[in-house]
Amino acid sequence: MSMRLIASSASRRVLSPATRFTPSRTFGATAARQAGKEDALHKEGRSEEIEHHKQDSLKKVKEGTAEWKDALASNSESIVKADRGELDASSETIEKLQKESEKILKSQK
What averages of pLDDT result for each successive group of 10 residues across the chain (109 residues)? 57 58 58 61 80 91 87 85 79 86 88
In angstroms, rounded to a whole number, what is the distance separating the alpha carbons of residues 8 and 57?
63
> Rounded distance, CA 49 to CA 45, Å?
6
pTM of the model: 0.44
- Looking at residue 79, its pLDDT comes to 85
User: How high is the pLDDT of residue 63?
Assistant: 92
- Are 81 and 73 contacting, i.e. CB atoms less than 8 angstroms apart? yes
Biggest CA pair distance of the chain = 84
CA-based nearest residue to 93, from 109, 70, 73? 70
